[in-house]
Amino acid sequence: MSLCFSLNVSTLNSPKYQSHKAHFSSQFINQIQVNPLSHSLPSLTSNSSLPFKFSVKRINPIRASTATSVEATQFSFRNKNPKDINIAVVGSTGYIGKFVVKELINRGFNVIAVAREKSGIKGKNSKEETLNQLQGANVCFSDVTKLETLEKSLNGFGVSVDVVVSCLASRTGGVKDSWKIDYEATKNSLVAGKKNGAKHFVLLSAICVQKPLLEFQRAKLKFEAELMREAEMDSGFTYSIVRPTAFFKSLGGQVELVKDGKPYVMFGDGNLCACKPISEEDLASFIADCVLSEDKINQILPIGGPGKALTPLEQGEILFRLLGKKPNFLKVPIGIMDFAIGVLDFLVKIFPSMEDAAEFGKIGRYYAAESMLVLDPDTGAYSAERTPSYGEDTLEEFFEKVLREGMAGQELGEQAIF
């Protein structure tokens, strides 16, 4: 069963995969075996069952699309005013999703925010808290991991969907969670969206899928391939795949520790990995641009924040300068992580239930050594020059804010890897 709510509130001001900073998690989940051949998209032409509806009075109701038939004019929604465009956002309460919802609302779109009944880190938020967090949106409490439930949720509004924006991402990066969310739930969003008339799909992916060594990267790439194939088969359907570099919060885990006098920890000489970090507000703005911008149609769009690429060494130097302290770095040999991963891989052969622990170690190793920049196909090296910049928010400004206010609201939660 799914419940849909529409809120009578004024539009909020828009403040503006999660790229992890290398950390190890202690969370274990069971393995799931996924046969890629078994995950082809179900038929997009089958009839949906009748929805369960819950309605409340709206001051600004969402509007039925003027083009609801399969034969509708190609890309017709792009010719409408934002107030006449219905956008379904899945992953709406996630770290980036909630900013995307606010940005779309501020741009005048009609937003259908799909959320879990208990959202947030470890499901700590109640329905009331979620409704408050998503003020201005038409909120559907649903389950994106169940296609039939999601279809009923979207059908319940009685209007067509023009665009689907997916901000879904695995919370742990474990094997089971990666395929359940990064592939299956995201696929459900595509299928349900198209059945309800969607002509465009904006996908929040990750820049690290360029070099897929991890399970969540493989899951994301599998869905990306199916999304592109769907557009090839349906000339009236388009997509935009957004691959951001590191998020600010993934680089802020050591701010308070350094403020308290601890050293800044980095692997190797601090130059093993670099990124052009982007704020949640700037990324949300770029994703919102993808709704109507024709130059972003059927494109894979890597994106970073403003300024030069920063290595961990340079990030630490910024932090010490803001604190007025002499730099104090703790350089950890990357070989320590290789040894730990080797031990975990050995233990998995004896205790299969530890597979996710080994995967978490590999995630930590990946982000300790691989840059979050565009991989130059000509040289096979990461390129800051080829990584587009967007927005105005800088990492230094973010560090200044965290030093003043702390990391409240920036918690990594289940995505934390140390």
Could you report the per-residue pLDDT of 232-245, keeping only the tens digit for each? 999 999 999 999 99
pLDDT grade for 201, boundaries at 50, 70 and 90: very high
Structural domains of the chain in order of their starting residue, each with its CATH number: 77-246+278-303 (3.40.50.720)
Buried (b) or exposed (e) across 95-120, using 16+ Cβ within 10 A?
bbbbbbbbbbbbbebbbbbbbbeebb
Could you report the per-residue pLDDT of 352-365, keeping only the tens digit for each? 889 989 999 999 99
Could you report the per-residue pLDDT of 373-402, keeping only the tens digit for each? 999 989 999 999 999 999 999 999 999 999
Token reading at 404: 């003043």
CA distance 245 to 373: 6
Q: Which residue has the higher pLDDT, 187 or 417?
A: 187
Residue 2 pLDDT > 60: no
pLDDT for res 158: 81
Per-residue CA distances from 381 to 279, 313, 372, 386 (Å): 25, 19, 11, 11
pLDDT for res 116: 84
Q: Which residues contact 33 (CB under 8 A, 6 or more apart)?
A: none
Q: Which residue has the higher pLDDT, 409 or 174?
A: 174
Q: Write down the H helix ranges in 136-209.
A: 147-155, 175-177, 186-195
Q: Which residue has the higher pLDDT, 116 or 91?
A: 91
Please state the length of the chain: 418
CA distance 80 to 387: 32
Per-residue CA distances from 326 to 257, 258, 319, 322, 323 (Å): 15, 11, 10, 10, 9
Which range among 60-69, 261-270, 369-378 shows the weakest confidence by mean pLDDT?
60-69
Mean pLDDT, the chain, integer: 82
Q: Which residues contact 195 (CB under 8 A, 6 or more apart)?
A: 44, 46, 48, 151, 154
Could you report the per-residue pLDDT of 310-329, keeping only the tens digit for each? 999 999 999 999 999 999 99
Q: Cβ(167)–Cβ(119) under 8 Å?
A: no
- Mean pLDDT of all residues in 186-203: 97
pLDDT for res 121: 56
Residue 38 pLDDT > 80: no
pLDDT for res 229: 97
pLDDT grade for 193, boundaries at 50, 70 and 90: very high
Residue 63 pLDDT > 70: no
pLDDT for res 410: 61
